[in-house]
A and B are shown apart, each in its own frame.
Chain A
């Protein structure tokens, strides 16, 4: 068992989302369209703090785990990471991550958070498989997932329409027995 606990990595830890105080930070991130276009396929749109407060105020469901990513040094909220769409009978789930604070990109915080989440998914939730989607133009993320052990399982051609052209949606998957463990 990990000495420092399941939710602590080398640079960051995974914490509960604090609906009231974190909402203003999420709202600020949602004003950065570059971030939004890496995060999902919904048309990019800024949201109010109230929107995020409502989103995270409810009791978590049984097939979804949301965490805030906070730095160990400053306890600053830098991103969000989610294990959701869990299928209990099949032992599978989907992961998504966003480092909303663009000043924190390229420092390995996302890799560290993913390592913690994968440990949680495999060692605590006991899943046998974790899936994710990433957009063709998000090369930084693809590289990170590749280093974590995810394998490309295919792509949907032209899934996204952005800036007047089509981009592929890439599927990646990691099986429990392929996972090297959190570093």
Chain B
């Protein structure tokens, strides 16, 4: 019996690394100055954060067993380009919520998010042995919906008019992906 080939946290172009708040916070603070970016990720009002505020916000995550946070870095120079995380893990039911973002508009549409999501799903399903992944995406985030659907997620819930932004009401979509469906999509049993 062979172990699954390939390291868990290394993709073709990107790496998932632990957050390095000493270096990352200043860059994430820059991202927070882009209201479009934050509006894709959160329902809370967008607001620019200082590096110190970013550091403070990140700190309580450490050592929590129901959350795993990673930074997404480019493989060739380890430049920080985004974050990916599993949150609110419910161990008794085998569930977790997935969230990821690519901070700089120039780094989007290049497949980095897709690659990071694939690594995160493999970690969730084959290391944590979870049963189902959930993601909440707002209707206006078409790139996000496409990214999750490409990874195998299906839209399960449409909360009507849950978000009021850019002068109109939008639905909040809940997507999910079952471990068994993920496995099937990858071609069934691997050696």
Contacts and interface: CB of A to CB of B under 8 A. Distances in A.
Given A41-B93, A89-B45, A161-B131, A156 B176 contact: yes
B108 interface: no
Interface string A49-67: 0000000000000000000
Interface string B159-170: 111111000000
Contact of A156 (B94, B134, B163): B134
A157 B178 contact: yes
Contacts, number: 67
A129 B160 CA distance: 9
B45 A159 contact: no
Nearest to A44: B92
Interface residues of B, number: 24
A107 to B, nearest CB: 31
A92 B162 contact: yes
Contacts of B94: 161
Contact of A131 (B95, B132, B159, B164): B159
A139 B125 CA distance: 31
Contact of A41 (B90, B156, B160): B90
Interface residues of A, number: 25
Contact of A159 (B132, B160, B162): B132
A148 B171 CA distance: 22
B43 interface: yes
A156 B174 contact: yes
B156 A161 contact: no
Among B43, B156, B163, B174, the one with the most A-chain Cβ atoms within 10 Å of its Cβ is B156
A90 B164 contact: yes
Contacts of A108: none
Contacts of B164: 89-91, 128
Contacts of B134: 156
A90 B166 CA distance: 12
Given A92-B162, A161-B93, A154 B132 contact: no
A160 interface: yes
Given A41-B90, A156-B157, 6 more contacts: A151-B160, A156-B134, A158-B132, A159-B132, A161-B131, A171-B159
